[in-house]
Amino acid sequence: MKFEFENPTHLVFGAGTLSQIGEIVRKHGKKALLVTGGGSVKRNGTFERALSSLNAAGVTVIECAGVEPNPRLSSVMRGAQIARDEGCDIVIGMGGGSTMDAAKVMAAAVNYEGDPWEMIIHGQDNWRLPTSALPIITVPTLAATGSEMNGGAVVTNEKTTVKSFVIAKCLYPRVAIVDPELTLSVPPDQTAFGICDLITHVTESYFNGADGTPLQDRFAEGVILTAMEWGPKAVTDGNNLEARAQVQWASVVALNGWVQVGTAGAFPVHIIEHVLSAHHDIAHGAGLSVVNPAWMRFAAQTRPARFARFAQRIFGLSLKHPDDRDAAMEGIDRFEAFLHSIGCPTRLSQLEIGDALLERYAHDTVHIIHDGEGHLPGRPPMSEEDIVEILRSAL
């Protein structure tokens, strides 16, 4: 193990913490660009409560509403322009992962020279990380992406149908205000998609990361077991604040770096799903729920021991030997059954995706990131044919 780690985000977690937003934001800025999504924060009163706290603290608020799921580059550019025009000195992302991601990239785009798309990895040569951003405050209203406490963001270029990501130090939020009460109104399907998303964040590094990271393995298993224990309760009873809190806490930890640290893992399932949602505008977590088990069955062929251990530690299966393929496949079946049980799709047909564009998805995936030999990084690295095979198995 050789790695560096730094996560400077100040996390404020707990029911009712939204009321602190005014005093928190005031420490970092006076005029805030408040970025929101499709309007749920207005319908459920979150927006008004935040505005009231911000105004009471003397923070001027400029609104940037309407960030869509799978947030578009045009929305990022619109928000950055508003921030420039209005002279905002801080950006608040209040909503799901899409809203927070868009807000983060807006904050970096305000002073970014040139086309902001150049900071997003999309196979280009002229890629330039952003080096500065306005202070960012995140207020998640969904337990899923973990964007509230990391330096990553995902944006879709709607002109080229490419969805990809940026990870930069300047994108770490100054403060993440994580109030599980804000997730009480999330419907069961979106709740389930969020649970799938957070679990997939840790399965990516668990299955694709470096060998020799036993502590990180235990942490990943801890996130999965906690999400599987509390997730169904949050899906079944959306008003169960305890379940909402446990799921949201798991979602923060699943991608704030504590689990991935030192694993240097690729995120192949995410990259494949990004291509699907760029083409079909599906919910990210729903797409992951289809792709992840299919990918697991493919990857288990080359690393059965790893998947057998997953089956043992997550589902308590006994192994006949460390390479027990039967146990490995049984573990994947059980994982897929869990996703199904909370209402997640597990076939592409449930997302109304057919086989017409399988080669195109595979091509786009490898175009975003490849290992120099035309393979998508991961364990194992995957050719376009491999990706087609995985997706075909999930039709």
Residue (222 or 380) nearer to its own copies, CB:
222
Q: Does residue number 214 form part of the binding site for its own copies (CB under 8 A)?
A: yes
Asked if 27 contacts 189 with a C-beta cutoff of 8 angstroms, the reply is no
CA dist 11 and 129 (Å) reads: 25
Chain residues 217-256 in contact with its own copies, contact rule CB under 8 A: 218-219, 221-223, 225-226, 229-230, 242, 245-246, 249-250, 253
CA dist 315 and 307 (Å) reads: 11
CA dist 43 and 12 (Å) reads: 24
Quick note: the x/- pattern for its own copies over 128-167, rule CB under 8 A, is ----------------------------------------
Q: Does residue number 23 form part of the binding site for its own copies (CB under 8 A)?
A: no
What's the closest the beta carbon of residue 256 comes to its own copies, in angstroms?
9
Residue (of 68, 70, 50, 46) closest to 59 by Cα position: 50
Residue (148 or 364) nearer to its own copies, CB:
148
CA dist 193 and 96 (Å) reads: 12
Asked if 68 contacts 37 with a C-beta cutoff of 8 angstroms, the reply is yes
Residue (170 or 225) nearer to its own copies, CB:
225
CA dist 159 and 77 (Å) reads: 14
Residue 165 phi/psi, 5-degree rounding, is: -135, 165
What's the closest the beta carbon of residue 258 comes to its own copies, in angstroms?
5
CA dist 367 and 361 (Å) reads: 10
Q: Does residue number 121 form part of the binding site for its own copies (CB under 8 A)?
A: no
Chain length of the chain: 395
**Residue 246 amino acid letter:** Q
What's the closest the beta carbon of residue 235 comes to its own copies, in angstroms?
17
Asked if 127 contacts 121 with a C-beta cutoff of 8 angstroms, the reply is yes
What's the closest the beta carbon of residue 226 comes to its own copies, in angstroms?
4
Residue (322 or 354) nearer to its own copies, CB:
322
What's the closest the beta carbon of residue 324 comes to its own copies, in angstroms?
19
Residue (13 or 325) nearer to its own copies, CB:
13
Chain residues 250-309 in contact with its own copies, contact rule CB under 8 A: 250, 253, 258, 262
Rg of the chain in Å (alpha carbons): 20
Q: Does residue number 211 form part of the binding site for its own copies (CB under 8 A)?
A: no
What's the closest the beta carbon of residue 229 comes to its own copies, in angstroms?
7
DSSP state of 353: -
Q: Does residue number 6 form part of the binding site for its own copies (CB under 8 A)?
A: yes
| Maximal C-alpha separation, the chain | 65
Query: Which residues form the interface with its own copies (CB under 8 A)?
Result: 1-17, 212, 214-215, 218-219, 221-223, 225-226, 229-230, 242, 245-246, 249-250, 253, 258, 262
